Structure 1
Amino acid sequence: MDERRKHERFNLVMDALCPKDEAHKRVRVRNFSREGLGIISEGPIPEGVDVELELMIPGESTPVIAAGRIAWIMNEKADGEKQYKMGVKLRDSEHGGIFSCIYKRWMRMKSQKEDG
């Protein structure tokens, strides 16, 4: 996949849930940027599908809701298991709020690692 990012990407692993998916699919967020999220799932979510994710931000008791669209998908094997990497392009209205919330947590975690 060609590198097309406009914004810096930050690594922060967290669990998320797609509550509107018929199976309430659980996914894992690997990274985030101002415009999107990188996620992994055991099952695919088709490209172009609108998704709503409940992000379980480490250290927070209430999930943060992020809405967007699956921009790309690729499958691969890791530890003998098939998994799907996907990119979620956040809706324009989501950019600032979601990024701000996740970025604050990322900064706290980074600071703790540097101090510890």
Structure 2
Amino acid sequence: MDHLSAPGPNGFSGRFYSHYWEIVGLYVVLAVQDFFRTGRVFRGLNSNFIVLIPKTPNALTVNQFRLIALGNFLFKVITKIIDDRLVSLGVVKLETVLMVLLNALMC
């Protein structure tokens, strides 16, 4: 996981978790284990901010912006574990599935 990624809706990036791992590490592990045990996530854990970043100065039209979703780092950890497992089983990467869905929504 990229610890320098942009912070998610809760304001915490991977760098925060890396820096304070001795304090928060056990709670992160417990939260991830709880998700895989129950199939439920904590409220707000899977929320994202959708941000439009201009590709060019003075961008005015939608195609002049890049869409970025700022997601919760802990949820990214969970989806990374799922993605790695799917790849190890020979299933298509989760990112590919998500890109198809995102492209369908943007049409």
- Structure with higher Rg: it is 2
TM-score by length of 2: 0.26
Q: Say which structure is richer in strand.
A: 1
* TM-score computed with the length of structure 1 as normaliser: 0.24
